[in-house]
């Protein structure tokens, strides 16, 4: 009787190879989608910068000058542009993630691979555009002679929190979109409402205390306000309204963070539960 022995290193090595293969698929699909997004366009990638700048210019003229919101702070233009860029990232990533499974119908039916790669690559495509737009925001920050501070290291975990929140929503929407295509119209309406309900154009201090607390339950608002406080308003305490200020205690900061991680976990759970039937239902 012979005993077949397996090397202990084979399983970890196989897992490492599988992870590396999945990361390569993510990289290739996200980069390809970004290139195809502007394929055949005369201006090409310039559109990824031109669209948020055009919206910023219009909103700044109307709200910054006509409604005099620009008098609130000399950093209002940068704050407005930051809000627009971050909201565009949120909207683009969730919209692309929502329709990603249907758009990749042929891949679902022909190839065997983890399905979560598809909505994840869609959100990464939006993240590439966001990275390009962030260069414009950084240019505005430099133009205003805002010096980097040690607190800027917190930008990385804040962006990670926002991305997890977006990815969780993308998982939920992509799962729902396979069954109900009307969810696209519903989400478009909700995004419009969210744009004006969030402190993108106006300072969050304009909201009553109760609405301010409700707004901070949205991790997007919490991340945006924390980033503004870190980058723009370190020396201007009256403008540094964060979730801790709104709720009156430091531990309140954990509320939107817990919501972000909860949405991600719930979205991944729903997605994995429906994953075996995606190829049949698209």
In a domain, 9, yes or no: no
In a domain, 27, yes or no: no
Comparing C-alpha atoms, which of 87, 90, 58, 80 is closest to residue 137? 80
- Extract the tokens encoding 279: 């190829």
In a domain, 156, yes or no: yes
In a domain, 78, yes or no: yes
Comparing C-alpha atoms, which of 204, 228, 229, 234 is closest to residue 217? 204
What is the C-alpha to C-alpha distance for residues 269 and 214, in angstroms, rounded to an integer? 26
In a domain, 3, yes or no: no
In a domain, 29, yes or no: no
Q: Give the predicted TM-score (pTM) of the model.
A: 0.86
Domain extent, residue 260, equals: 42-281
Q: What is the pLDDT of residue 189?
A: 96
Locus of tokens 């969810």: 183
Q: How many domains does the chain have?
A: 1
Query: How confident is the prediction along the chain (282 residues), in pLDDT tens digits per residue?
Result: 444 444 444 465 655 556 676 777 676 777 767 766 666 565 556 777 888 888 899 999 988 888 788 888 889 999 999 999 999 999 999 999 999 988 887 777 776 667 888 899 999 999 999 999 999 999 999 998 888 899 999 999 999 999 999 999 999 999 999 988 899 999 999 999 999 999 999 989 889 999 999 999 999 999 999 999 999 887 555 557 889 888 988 899 999 999 999 999 999 999 999 887 776 666
Locus of tokens 């804040």: 158
In a domain, 4, yes or no: no
Comparing C-alpha atoms, which of 79, 96, 90, 87 is closest to residue 195? 87
Comparing C-alpha atoms, which of 27, 198, 195 is closest to residue 127? 27
Q: What is the pLDDT of residue 5?
A: 46
Q: What is the pLDDT of residue 276?
A: 78
- Extract the tokens encoding 171: 């998982």
Comparing C-alpha atoms, which of 56, 51, 58 is closest to residue 80? 56
Q: What is the pLDDT of residue 1?
A: 46
Q: What is the pLDDT of residue 78?
A: 93
User: Is there a contact between 22 and 114 (Cβ–Cβ < 8 Å)?
Assistant: yes
- Extract the tokens encoding 173: 């929407």
What is the C-alpha to C-alpha distance for residues 146 and 142, in angstroms, rounded to an integer? 6
Q: Please, what is the Cα angle at 210 between 206 and 213, to 5 degrees?
A: 85
What is the C-alpha to C-alpha distance for residues 219 and 161, in angstroms, rounded to an integer? 8
Burial class (CB in 10 A: 0-12, 13-18, 19+), 40: exposed
Comparing C-alpha atoms, which of 260, 24, 272, 226 is closest to residue 124? 24
Burial class (CB in 10 A: 0-12, 13-18, 19+), 53: middle
In a domain, 167, yes or no: yes
């Amino acid at each position: 009787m012979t005993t077949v022995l397996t090397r202990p290193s084979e399983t970890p090595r196989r897992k490492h190879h599988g992870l590396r293969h999945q990361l390569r698929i993510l990289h290739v699909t996200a980069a390809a989608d970004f290139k195809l997004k502007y394929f055949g366009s005369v201006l090409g990638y310039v559109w990824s910068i031109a669209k948020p700048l055009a919206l910023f210019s219009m909103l700044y003229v109307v709200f910054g000058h006509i409604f005099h919101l620009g008098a609130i702070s000399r950093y209002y233009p940068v704050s407005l542009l930051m809000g627009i860029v971050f909201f565009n990232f949120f909207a683009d990533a969730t919209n692309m993630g929502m329709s990603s499974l249907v758009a990749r119908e042929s891949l679902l039916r022909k190839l065997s691979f983890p399905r979560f790669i598809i909505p994840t690559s869609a959100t990464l495509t939006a993240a590439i555009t966001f990275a390009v737009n962030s260069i414009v925001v950084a240019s505005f920050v430099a133009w205003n002679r805002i010096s980097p501070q040690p607190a800027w290291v917190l930008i990385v975990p804040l962006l990670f929190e926002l991305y997890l929140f977006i990815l969780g929503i993308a998982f939920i929407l992509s799962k729902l979109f396979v069954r109900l295509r009307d969810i696209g119209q519903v989400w478009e309406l909700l995004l419009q409402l969210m744009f004006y309900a969030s402190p993108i154009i106006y300072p969050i201090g304009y909201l009553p205390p109760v609405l301010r607390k409700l707004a901070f339950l949205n991790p997007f608002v919490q991340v945006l306000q924390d980033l503004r406080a870190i980058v723009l308003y370190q020396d201007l305490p009256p403008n540094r309204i964060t979730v801790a200020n709104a709720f009156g205690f430091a531990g309140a900061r954990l509320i939107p963070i817990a919501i972000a991680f909860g949405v991600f976990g719930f979205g991944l759970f729903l997605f994995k539960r429906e994953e075996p039937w995606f190829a049949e239902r698209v």
